[in-house]
Amino acid sequence: MKIIRLIFFIVHVGISFLLVGTLLNAYVPPKTFPWFNLLSLGFPVFMIVYLLLTLFWIISWKKRAFVFLLFGLLFFKPVIRWINYMPQKNEIPDLKIISLNAKGGFYGKGNIESYINSQKSDIVLLQEYGINKKYQFNGMKEGSQGHIITVFSKHRFIEQKQLIESDYEYNNAYASQTDIEIKGKIYRFINVYLQPFKFQKSMVKLNGNSEEDEQKLKDVVKRLIPTFKMHQEQISAVRKSIDESPYPVILAGDFNSVPNSYEYYHLLEGLQDAFVEAGRGSATSFHDYKFPIRIDYIFSSLSVKPLSYKVDRSVKLSDHFPVIATFKSEK
């Protein structure tokens, strides 16, 4: 039994170091050391193992349980970026937003239109909407289109600008800023689609053959690391739009990045995560893999209070679930 406890202790300490590595993404950019960003992908697994081992020490009546419990408090905020249970707010919202990666409309353009129309939102931000798709949403006008992203609004467009342009060979990212007047107040909406990893299920599915699986893992890492570095470049243009905005900002879209990543920390700076402030349940939004993945977000300026946040799992309009948030502008 002592040997088993020693092994568990070594594993627990090792997991603790890996979790700390995910926190360092707030400070270390991918171009300097991309491996911390790689660790962020495994955060849910690391945290589950950490909690199970802590429970083992509690059941074993070991003093080290208190040390691991206290140390685990460092990860409370990172955990609620994945799973959260905020009490329901009873205030009346001023604004309702939907963000959806539509996967080119391959699940049915009509299904997307029917769903969006039923939600009666103020703003709809689409990623991968399908360049040949012409959506019709009740009472909404479409802003200027990018090849990847587009914005619909029930309210008046003031100004629109592309922040990231795709060149289709090296860069497949897109981002835009759209200033919209709503009830006499102007907001800046930033729609983001960062560089995708372009994985197919066959590329990440292990089949039990050690040599093939090892090669698959190497190929995955070779694709992840350069993409992390591209994200670092891409978010600089988005940050500039946020930092220079004279209006409250709402940032949404498919970041192709998980919570606790470099991208998450640096896009969130000066803003608030609507899920952390008002979400309930799991924030996992990409459902094509069994592994929990949250890559769709809605952030807002501190002056725009999130009242609710929902990942709508009742529909399958693409390989992403729609993300819906409501807000109240503070006077």
Helices marked H in the chain — which ranges?
Answer: 2-23, 35-40, 43-59, 64-72, 76-80, 109-119, 201-204, 210-243, 262-268, 274-278
Distances (CA, A) of 87 to 94, 157, 282, 298: 19, 34, 14, 19
Q: Which two tokens stand for residue 82?
A: 């994945």
Please give the chain's pLDDT, 331 residues, in tens: 788 888 999 999 999 999 999 999 999 999 999 999 999 999 999 999 999 999 999 998 888 899 999 999 999 999 999 999 988 888 899 999 999 999 988 888 999 999 999 999 999 999 999 877 889 999 999 987 777 899 999 999 999 999 987 765 556 889 999 999 999 999 999 999 999 876 555 455 555 556 665 665 676 677 788 899 999 999 999 999 999 999 999 999 999 999 999 999 999 999 999 999 999 999 999 987 777 799 999 999 999 999 999 999 999 999 999 999 999 987 6
Q: Which two tokens stand for residue 23?
A: 């926190």
- Residues 6+ away with beta carbon under 8 Å from 208: none
> What is the Cα–Cα distance from 196 to 227, expressed in whole angstroms?
8
Across 145-216, where does the E strand assignment appear? 149-153, 156-164, 174-182, 185-193
- Domain 87-329 carries which CATH code? 3.60.10.10
Cβ atoms of 112 and 100 closer than 8 Å: yes
pLDDT number for residue 206: 53
- Residues 6+ away with beta carbon under 8 Å from 61: none
Domain definitions of the chain by residue range? 2-80, 87-329
> What is the Cα–Cα distance from 297 to 253, expressed in whole angstroms?
6
The predicted model scores a pTM of 0.92
pLDDT number for residue 331: 64
> What is the Cα–Cα distance from 74 to 62, expressed in whole angstroms?
21
